[in-house]
């Protein structure tokens, strides 16, 4: 009975968090689908052929526009690299498409507070700058050539089909594209395919977060994150955050519930931000880098990404502390309140209806057949 009670308590925590982030997820993926429906992959590759500030700025903007799960972002970055994008632009595209996206910001502000959303977006821009500088100083033409040769071998990672899907509408103005039948169909397909690509990570992240919240006592977290020594906690946090993310196996928006657990447990503000950043260096994705680009490039990506994420975490920690806007309340609404009839419930019902409309459109326009072809 005690074990059953613990399991039910963990499941309740997971469901409570899902209830809090459900409408932001639907809203975020809908907006993402709208943007993807008017941005062509081929246009991206042509604009990312170098590593100049202009190329990297476009890579950042295209990454935001191509919001997707981490696996799909990595696959699409490889595709852009094969089509002529520079290696630096492809990696910047990855960072932007997983850390500067609409749905992530909405979920963070709902679940954890506006400070985390601001930190995510500012930190994401800092990571782009840091990565560009590090690559300019350390990336060699030989390593790029080796990575390109491996990329041309076409080894399969995950979400290859999703990354290759391009249903963008090319004719007319933005609003004409969006409100056309083809535009509506494209939005519905991107919406459902994005859900198909992240639901496993979201469910795993929620279950792990629920279990940790229910079973791991707070004194353990406080000791682990050195909460009793604020100075050491600020030093440890940005270094530890990416390491915890690497072994959590959860990426995309699925790591936000875990971030909430870590924040409640006492990790520093910069630490929780660097944890969220690190969805691109979890162990399964590192293995995909190995398949795509080879061992040397995988090691290079791991080291440079880790340094970039930790550095951005430190900058965010010190900047927000100087501004006095680091939140002091570590209570997360999903843990403290559970499910109630409130504005969240109303919004969930409204956006579930929107999701139903898009799902019906997806099914009626051959989406099931397309879904079966995706890896």
- Give Cβ neighbours of residue 103 (< 8 Å, ≥ 6 apart): 24, 25, 27, 28, 29, 31, 32, 67, 253
Answer whether 136's CB lies under 8 Å from 107's CB: no
Cα(140)–Cα(31) distance, rounded to whole angstroms?
A: 38
Tell me how far apart the alpha carbons of residues 276 and 260 are, in angstroms, rounded to a whole number: 10
Q: Which residue has the tokens 């506006």?
A: 114
Query: Which CA distances in Å does 258 have to 19, 248, 250, 282?
Result: 15, 9, 9, 14
**Cβ proximity of 55 and 96 under 8 Å:** no
The predicted pLDDT at position 43 comes to 63
- Measured between alpha carbons, how far is residue 131 from residues 61, 94, 360 in Å? 16, 11, 42
Name every residue whose Cβ is closer than 8 Å to that of residue 155 and which is 6 or more positions away in sequence. 291, 292
What angle do the packed helices 114-138 and 102-111 form, to 10 degrees? Answer: 140
Give, in order, the Cα–Cα distances in Å from 213 to each of 13, 61, 204, 233, 269: 7, 36, 14, 20, 18
Question: pLDDT truncated to tens, each residue of the chain (375 aa)?
Answer: 777 887 887 788 788 878 877 887 788 778 777 777 766 666 666 667 777 888 888 888 888 877 666 777 888 888 888 888 899 999 998 898 888 887 788 888 888 889 999 999 999 999 999 999 999 999 999 999 999 998 888 666 555 555 555 566 666 666 677 678 888 888 898 888 878 877 877 788 788 878 887 788 878 888 888 888 889 999 999 999 999 888 876 666 778 888 888 888 889 999 999 999 998 998 888 988 998 999 999 999 999 999 999 999 999 999 999 999 999 888 766 555 567 777 778 888 999 999 999 999 999 998 888 777 765
């Amino acid at each position: 009975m005690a074990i059953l009670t613990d399991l039910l308590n963990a499941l309740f925590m997971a469901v409570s968090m899902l209830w809090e982030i459900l409408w932001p997820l639907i809203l975020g993926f809908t907006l993402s689908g709208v943007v993807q429906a008017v941005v062509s992959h081929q246009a991206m590759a042509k604009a990312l052929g170098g590593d100049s500030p202009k190329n990297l700025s476009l890579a950042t903007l295209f990454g935001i526009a191509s919001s997707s799960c981490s696996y799909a972002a990595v696959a699409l970055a490889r595709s852009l690299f094969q089509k002529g994008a520079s290696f630096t632009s492809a990696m910047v595209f990855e960072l932007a498409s997983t850390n500067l996206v609409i749905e992530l910001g909405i979920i963070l502000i709902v679940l954890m507070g506006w400070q985390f959303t601001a930190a995510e977006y500012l930190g994401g821009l800092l990571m782009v700058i840091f990565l560009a500088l590090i690559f300019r100083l350390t990336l060699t033409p030989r390593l790029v050539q080796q990575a390109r040769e491996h990329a041309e071998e076409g080894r399969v990672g995950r979400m290859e089909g999703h990354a290759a899907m391009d249903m963008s509408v090319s004719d007319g103005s933005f609003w004409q594209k969006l409100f056309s039948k083809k535009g509506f169909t494209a939005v519905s397909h991107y919406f459902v395919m994005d859900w198909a690509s992240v639901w496993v990570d979201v469910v795993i992240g929620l279950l792990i977060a629920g279990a940790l919240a229910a079973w791991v006592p707070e004194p353990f977290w406080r000791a682990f994150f050195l909460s009793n020594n604020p100075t050491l906690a600020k030093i440890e946090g940005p270094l530890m955050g990416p390491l915890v993310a690497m072994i959590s196996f959860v990426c995309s928006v699925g790591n936000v519930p875990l971030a909430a657990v870590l924040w409640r447990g006492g990790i520093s503000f910069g630490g929780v931000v660097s944890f969220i950043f690190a969805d691109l260096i979890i162990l399964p994705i590192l293995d995909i880098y190995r398949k795509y680009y080879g061992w040397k490039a995988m090691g290079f990506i791991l080291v440079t990404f880790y340094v970039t994420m930790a550095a951005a975490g430190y900058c965010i920690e010190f900047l927000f502390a100087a501004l006095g806007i680091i939140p002091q309340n570590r209570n997360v609404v999903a843990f403290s309140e559970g499910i109630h009839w409130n504005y969240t419930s109303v919004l969930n019902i409204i956006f579930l209806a929107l999701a139903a409309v898009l799902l019906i459109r997806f099914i009626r326009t051959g989406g099931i057949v397309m879904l079966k072809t995706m890896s």
